Amino acid sequence: LIQIRSGHIPINAYLKRFKKRDNDYCDNCLTNTNRILPETVNHYILDCPTYNTERDELKRKLGRANAVDLERLFKTEKGTRELLNFLDATKRLKQALG
């Protein structure tokens, strides 16, 4: 959770910062929509269309207003729990962490 809040998770914007990648592009958006967008924590959790299904589930469980703001997700135990469920459901971090 601390890594997510601080932006220190192995997604492309972070990996580029430490020269582990040549670019910070969201591979999913580039492949699926031909859009070049940086894969930041906000993009991954709140915007990337690849994870719309998982995000819709998050919105269903927490309400739209609570699921579209990272700070709101961390304000309650339920929000944090559902954020962790979202992260697990996307399997995005498992790609990087194994």
| Whether residue 3 has pLDDT greater than 70 | yes
- Around Cβ 30, how many Cβ atoms within 10 Å? 14
Contact by Cβ (8 Å): 37, 57: no
d(CA 69, CA 64): 9
**Do 12 and 24 meet the contact criterion of CB atoms below 8 Å apart?**
yes
CA–CA distance, 5 with 46 (Å, rounded to integer):
14
**What is the rounded CA–CA span in Å between residue 59 and residue 45?**
12
Q: Which domain holds residue 16?
A: 2-97
- The span from the CA of 72 to the CA of 52, in Å, is 19
Question: Each residue of 22-74: pLDDT tens digit?
Answer: 999 999 999 988 999 999 999 999 999 999 999 999 999 998 888 888 888 88
| pLDDT confidence tier of residue 98, bands split at 50, 70 and 90 | low
**Total-model pTM:** 0.87
**What's the structural domain count of the chain?**
1
CB 11 within 8 A of CB 29: no
Question: For residue range 66-96, what is the model confidence (pLDDT) as tens digits?
Answer: 888 888 888 889 999 999 999 999 999 876 6
Q: Which pLDDT does position 77 carry in this prediction?
A: 92
Higher pLDDT, 96 or 16: 16
Residue from 67, 30, 73 nearest 52 by CA: 67
